[in-house]
Amino acid sequence: MNKDIFLTNNLSNKKEKFFPINEKKIGMYVCGPTVYDDPHIGNARPLVIFDILFKVLKCKYGKNSVTYVRNITDVDDKIIKSSQENNVSISNLTQKIINNFNDDCSFLNCEIPSEQPRATDHIDLMIKMISELVSKGFAYENKSHVYFEVKKFNDYGKLSNKKLEDLIAGSRVEISENKKSPEDFVLWKPSTDKEPFWDSPWGKGRPGWHLECSAMSKKFLGNEFDIHGGGIDLLFPHHENEIAQSRCANDTKVFANYWIHNAFITMSNEKMSKSQGNILKIKDFRASVNGQVLRLALMSAHYKQPLDWNYKLLEDCKHTIEKWYNVYLSLKSPFKIPNDILLPLYDDLNTPGYIANLHKLFDKANNGNDNDKKIFISACNFIGILNQTKEEWLDFKKKKSLISEKDILEKIELRNKARENKDYKEADQIRDELLDKGVLIEDKDGKTSWKIK
């Protein structure tokens, strides 16, 4: 297919034609999970969005021409805190969350990236990069901490398209008397005897979160690469800091050429948060919602737009896939997808436009021959839908709730009391128990409603 790919680049804040550095060696780095807790539905959106971008790039340039790197952050303050609160070792905690994360990716039918580096396997590279920043005058040590001196990098704020003082005023800047300026960010910090540590020129400690991605992207993609992605919440300060430390350490004018960010997921138009009690983990859906229904829902809005998560959305997507299975055929190999069907995905990953094309293909397949059906199934498979056989789909549908209405209401009352007492862990466990039994609950305007899936 000769059609050009266009992507919204946050570095320029506009949609641009994609020009790879090398068409045979396209590099894409996406920030992966910090493994202190199981991924929630907001984390699922970039998993699916960048999985689709991976597919589109391979379709355009060839399956062996794209390297997709998604890291795993397995050393971080949040991980240390979670291990202490749950009285479990860091290694056991991180491995458990990594396993759950991989199960979530499989549930969502996401391809395995080309590389999935773990931060703890690359500490030596991080120490080397910090040393280079110190020797070049971009970083300084104070009391076993090493900080990047933001004022030394003139392009700081270019990605966010804001002045430094505006960025600081609108963010949570870590306050420390060890810094020269409030905006400086940590590259290395000391560890206590009860915290994980590595030997370094600045003493026993561990790397800062921002530094980890710079070191791992350099190893697998080089000093400069094509695409860097993640959720919009990472744009500042994480991605801004990555650019600063990478360009200064590597002596380059560019880090990544295209910066792609997906928008938030909301719940009933409210931002997801523990205080709202509306954090839904991906694993919560496994017993009651088919993974491809979840995947289709995550594609239902353009990735640049907020996606409001509600049960009507899931119900609509379930009915759509139910209908599509009426023309299901098992394919030994995919049929060629017409170029005009693929065009929306080439135009800034317009998944709603592609889904609209799938509806048109279905109408044709429903009234056509086996070739029409095979084209439709191939077009669905391209974005990770209809990946199960019809028998597998029907088997999942047969699962029914095994809980009475009386028990449901009692559980909801217990959950509401737990939320009033700010015992969110207990509230989450009750919600998970209900979901495991096929009961979906929704909090809105101070009231909780429920329905059987």
Mean pLDDT of 251-279: 85
Cβ neighbours around 33 below 10 Å, total: 21
255 part of a folded domain: yes
For residue 366, give Cα distances in angstroms to 325, 326, 335, 363: 10, 8, 17, 5
Mean pLDDT of 143-148: 97
Q: Are residues 84 and 179 in the same domain?
A: yes
pLDDT at 400 over 70: no
Percent of the chain with pLDDT over 90: 76
Asked if 68 and 105 count as a contact pair (C-beta separation under 8 A), the reply is no
Report the distance separating Cα 404 and Cα 412, nearest Å.
Answer: 12
- What pLDDT is stored for residue 398 in this prediction? 66
Dihedral in degrees, nearest 10, Cα atoms 72, 77, 80, 84: -140
68 part of a folded domain: yes
- What pLDDT is stored for residue 399 in this prediction? 60
Higher pLDDT residue, 419 or 401? 419
Report the distance separating Cα 373 and Cα 66, nearest Å.
Answer: 30
Cβ neighbours around 269 below 10 Å, total: 10
Report the distance separating Cα 335 and Cα 222, nearest Å.
Answer: 36
How many structural domains is the chain composed of?
3
Mean residue pLDDT across the chain: 92
Report the distance separating Cα 85 and Cα 72, nearest Å.
Answer: 21
pLDDT at 368 over 70: yes
Q: Are residues 71 and 194 in the same domain?
A: yes
Mean pLDDT of 245-269: 94
With tokens 């609209």, the residue in question is 356
Mean pLDDT of 408-423: 90
Q: Are residues 410 and 384 in the same domain?
A: no
Mean pLDDT of 322-346: 95
Mean pLDDT of 40-60: 97
Mean pLDDT of 168-175: 64
pLDDT at 164 over 80: no
Report the distance separating Cα 18 and Cα 181, nearest Å.
Answer: 37
pLDDT at 171 over 90: no
Mean pLDDT of 319-323: 96
274 part of a folded domain: no
Q: Are residues 55 and 166 in the same domain?
A: yes
Q: What is the domain-level CATH number for residue 200? A: 3.40.50.620
Mean pLDDT of 236-245: 96
- What pLDDT is stored for residue 57 in this prediction? 98
- What pLDDT is stored for residue 276 in this prediction? 65
Residue 161: domain span: 21-265
279 part of a folded domain: no
Mean pLDDT of 159-177: 74
Of 94-108, 175-189, 403-417, where does the model show the most confidence?
Answer: 94-108
What contacts 24+ positions apart, CB below 8 Å, involve 248-253? 248/133, 248/136, 248/138, 248/148, 248/152, 248/153, 249/129, 249/132, 249/133, 249/136, 249/138, 249/214, 250/218, 250/223, 250/224, 252/223, 252/224
254 part of a folded domain: yes
Of 4-13, 175-184, 425-434, where does the model show the most confidence?
Answer: 4-13
Q: Are residues 69 and 138 in the same domain?
A: yes
pTM of the model: 0.88
When pLDDT is cut at 50, 70 and 90, the band that residue 173 belongs to is: low
- What pLDDT is stored for residue 292 in this prediction? 96
For residue 15, give Cα distances in angstroms to 58, 155, 176, 396: 20, 21, 39, 41
pLDDT at 1 over 90: no
When pLDDT is cut at 50, 70 and 90, the band that residue 323 belongs to is: very high
In degrees, rounded to 5, the angle at the alpha carbon of residue 199 between the alpha carbons of residues 194 and 202 is 100
